[in-house]
Amino acid sequence: MIHTLTVLGALALAGAAHAQYEYNQLTPQQARIKACDTEATGKHLKGKDRSHFMNDCLHASRAASASAGSGLLKR
């Protein structure tokens, strides 16, 4: 009985650790935002200039990833 509870407890902890690992992974959109934000910070952009830069950067990233992915669908 104690052995069974120990095994179940270990499995529960392993599952929680795996879920935490997946939770900490960035989605592709979050990765694009982070990259554009880092670039904007490096350029010391603020206010409207930063907003325009982020908008352009995210749209360029989205277009690049869409064109890269479109080749996979062609036969």
How confident is the model over 19-40, as pLDDT tens digits? 555 678 999 999 999 999 999 9
**Does residue 74 surpass a pLDDT of 70?**
no
Give the domain range for residue 31.
2-73
| pTM higher than the cut 0.85 | no
**Structurally, how many domains does the chain consist of?**
1
User: String of b and e for 44-60 (b: at least 16 CB within 10 Å)?
Assistant: eeeeeebeebbeebbee
Dihedral through CA 53, CA 54, CA 55, CA 61, nearest 10? Answer: 110
Please report which confidence band the pLDDT of residue 9 belongs to, taking 50, 70 and 90 as the band edges.
Answer: low
Q: What is the pLDDT of residues 37-59, one digit of tens each?
A: 999 999 999 999 999 999 999 99
Report how far apart the first and last C-alpha atoms of the chain are (Å, whole number).
57
Closest residue by Cα to residue 54 from 66, 41, 65: 41
Phi-psi region of 44 (alpha: psi -120 to 50; beta: other; left: phi over 0): left
